Homo-oligomer: A and B are copies of this chain.
Amino acid sequence: MTESPLLSARKNYQLHLPEIFENLASVCFEKEKDTSSVSDLEEIQSLFPHLFGLPLLSANIAKDKKDFPPFRVGVVLSGGQAAGGHNVIIGLFDALKTLNPDSHLVGFLNGPSGIIEGNIHELDREFVSSYRNTGGFDLIGSGRTKIETEEQLKSSLQTIQELKLDGLVVIGGDDSNTNAVVLAEYLVKNGCTTKVIGVPKTIDGDLRNKYVEMSFGFDTACKTYSEMIGNLERDAISAKKYTHFVKLMGRSASHIALECALQTHPNYTFISEEVLERKLTIKCITKELADLVEERSKMKKNYGVILIPEGLIEFIPEMKSLIEELNTLLAGSEFTSLDPSASIDKVRNTLKGDLLSTFEFLPEGIQKQLLLDRDPHGNVQVSHINTEKLFMETVSKELKQRDFKGSFSPVAHFFGYEGRAGFPSNFDATYCYALGYTAAALIKEGLSGYMACVNHLLEDAKKWRVMGIPIISLMNLEMRKGKKKPVIQKALVDLNKGPFATFKKHRKSWMIADDYQFPGPIQFFGDPQITGRPPEVLKLKDS
């Protein structure tokens, strides 16, 4: 494979580490405080009798310097790509080799199924170095298999024992970290001493808490999307004729949309959490958008940029109810033989009250999608609904009804996959390398069921603080497929303070004044003001 000049330069980019890792062998972890779980203490304790109640730990330097035997560690990437994953692996590799040059790191291929099936690749320095500071998860691949069933857990235990692993590092989002601690508990229960450590990954930014200030990949994804949004804004004020509806990846929380809004100041941004709290209907959102289009048009601004989080539809209460009702209705066999328009007629005759008006308000294309595009269980495929097109159509219709005289030319965009696997920003590259070191340090200290944590991220990398967070301390019980399950509580956008409060303060002026910002492409070299720009939501987290 030939290399782009940037690829070569990135590989040689020097990463800084938190100061504490200058003496990795002397790093110890000290108790900050005891922990339990977010809620449902008893149930969670009964599910994790061995690992419940571990202390929160902070790294420090021990007085005595120990020598360490070679470590044997496995690493796995789980779930969707996030920029910086390779650097976690390389940080882990470098740290293990620093502790003892005879240490071994094996990669499990294509996600957790690699653990179950014992599908591995032994990692050496030359191979991992060729991935330094690159995007993607192609070093060992990733996958979405979960290690959940007794059989899967047993196979995993077997692989781990055969490989004689001292540690296993699971790089993944909230679900993957949940699974990591399930496996950790299973190993202890079965007398296996292998330590399991999680690393917080997800571009969505919803794996976040008091200590985990940011999951990795979020920064690069938001900067990539913001580059494009800024470009669209500049195109909009130049061409003065398009309204861009930009859907942004991120199903359950709107952190990405919020971050991009703070970076680019578009005319309108949906925050799903707010839509839910304000119990907004599609009609009412449509009215709000049509008002905006009209108001701007009066100022001869027949253009604009609107951001929509991918998961919005599931946060609109009436849509949630409608979808649930349709799932029940369509399960009835009388629908299977009907053609699309007959189906729509039948649904119209069956639905009542608010559900019927919601259905009637939807564009025909979306109505059909709701009825026809169903998963193997017969459920509506919510993720397939083109939310951006839905609002483009309802707003167009509303404007026609209002006899709007201006021009409204909507253009749809979806920014998603483009942001997951790009070159990590300097922030993500450095952060991930430190996370890899942290995972090694936790394993070396014989700790299991912990999430690697590096915080104080607004400071210089040298001053970053290194911690170990008991994964169970982040968990609560939630309903999943009709059953109560222990899971890491997702961090949603806090509507009362921090980044959202700043957004709320400014959004009115952004609607009208075109305070568009153009962050431009991610820069890797030169002025740290530019190359090291931290995410806005991080800067504003305590505001």
- Give A244 to B237 CA distance when docked, in angstroms: 30
A70 part of interface (Cβ distance < 8 Å): no
Docked pose: A234 CA to B422 CA in angstroms: 7
Within 8 A of B (CB), among A1-42: 1-7, 9-10
Complex interface: stretch among A155-163, A374-382, A520-528: A520-528
Closest chain-B Cβ to A355's Cβ sits at a distance in Å of: 28
CB < 8 Å: which of B240, B420, B517, B523 contacts A523? B523
> With contacts A81-B238, A521-B423 known, is A527 near B9, CB below 8 A?
yes
Q: Which one, B228, B417, B530, contacts A9 given CB within 8 A?
A: B530
B6-A523 in contact (CB<8A): yes
- List 7 A-B pairs, Cβ < 8 Å: A1-B516, A4-B230, A4-B517, A224-B521, A422-B521, A521-B522, A523-B523
Chain B residue nearest in CB terms to A140? B238
CB <8 Å contact, A520 and B417 = no
With a cutoff of 8 Å between Cβ atoms, the chain B residues found around residue A2 in the complex are 515, 517
Task: Give the contacts of A132-147 with B (CB-CB under 8 A).
Answer: 134-138, 141-142
Residues in B neighbouring A135, C-beta threshold 8 A:
231, 234, 518
Which interface residue of A227, A238, A423 has the most chain B CB atoms within 10 A?
A: A238
Residues of B with C-beta under 8 A to A515:
1-2
- Cβ contact of A136, chosen from B234, B414, B526, cutoff 8 A: B234
Name the one of B4, B141, B232, B529 contacting A519, with C-beta atoms under 8 angstroms. Answer: B4
Q: Does A419 contact B (CB under 8 A)?
A: yes
Residues from 196 to 243 in A contacting B, C-beta threshold 8 Å: 224, 227-228, 230-232, 234-235, 237-240, 242
State the CA gap A421–B229 with chains docked (Å). Answer: 11
Given contacts A227-B422, A530-B9, contact A523 B524 (CB under 8 A): yes
B525–A6 CB distance below 8 A: no
The answer to whether A530 and B6 touch (CB under 8 A), given A235-B81, A417-B231, A423-B518, is yes
Instruction: Report the Cα distance A5→B223, complex, angstroms.
Output: 13
Let me know if A356 is at the binding interface, CB within 8 A.
Answer: no
Instruction: Tell me, yes or no, whether A338 is within 8 Å of chain B by CB.
Output: no
Q: Which residues in B have their C-beta under 8 angstroms from that of A242? A: 417
Q: Which residues of B contact A360 (CB under 8 A)?
A: none
Residues of chain B lying within 8 A (CB to CB) of residue A224: 231, 521
Indicate if A448 sits at the interface (CB-CB under 8 A).
no
Q: Which B residues lie within 8 Å of A136 (CB)?
A: 234-235, 237-238
Interface range for A: 35 or more
> A residues bordering B, Cβ < 8 Å?
1-7, 9-10, 80-81, 110, 134-138, 141-142, 224, 227-228, 230-232, 234-235, 237-240, 242, 244, 411, 413-414, 417-423, 515-527, 529-530, 533
Tell me how many chains of this kind the complex includes. Answer: 2
Contact of A418 (CB < 8 Å), options: B5, B231, B238, B516: B231
A414: nearest chain-B partner, CB-CB:
B413
Task: State the Cβ distance, A291 to closest chain B Cβ, in Å.
Answer: 24
Chain A at the B interface: SS class: loop
Q: Given A6-B519, A423-B521, A515-B2, decide whether A142 and B527 contact each other with a Cβ distance below 8 A.
A: no
- How far, in angstroms, from A231 to B5 measured CA to CA in the complex? 16
Residues of B within 8 A of A524 (CB): 523, 526
Nearest Cβ in chain B — how far from A518, in angstroms? 6
- Using Cβ atoms and an 8 Å threshold, which residues of chain B touch A529? 5, 9
How far apart sit A346 and B282, CA to CA, in the bound complex (Å)?
A: 38
Give A421 to B242 CA distance when docked, in angstroms: 14
> In whole angstroms, what is the CA distance A135 to B235 when docked?
8
Cβ contacts under 8 Å, A418 to chain B: 228, 231-232, 235, 413
Min Cβ gap A375→B in Å is 14
CA distance in complex: A232, B524 (Å): 20
Interface centre among A5, A517, A524 (most CB of B within 10 A): A5
Contacts of A6 on B, CB cut-off 8 Å? Answer: 518-520, 523, 530
User: Cβ of A5: which chain B residues have Cβ within 8 Å of it?
Assistant: 527, 529-530, 533
By Cβ-Cβ distance, the 6 closest A-B pairs, closest first, are: A521-B521, A525-B526, A136-B234, A137-B238, A235-B421, A234-B421
Name the distance in Å between A171's Cβ and chain B's nearest Cβ. 12
Q: Name the B residues within 8 Å of A80 (CB-CB).
A: 239
Instruction: Give the docked Cα–Cα distance between A134 and B230 (Å).
Output: 12
The CA of A220 and the CA of B373, in the complex, are separated in Å by 39
Contacting residues, chain B, for A142 (C-beta < 8 A): 238-239
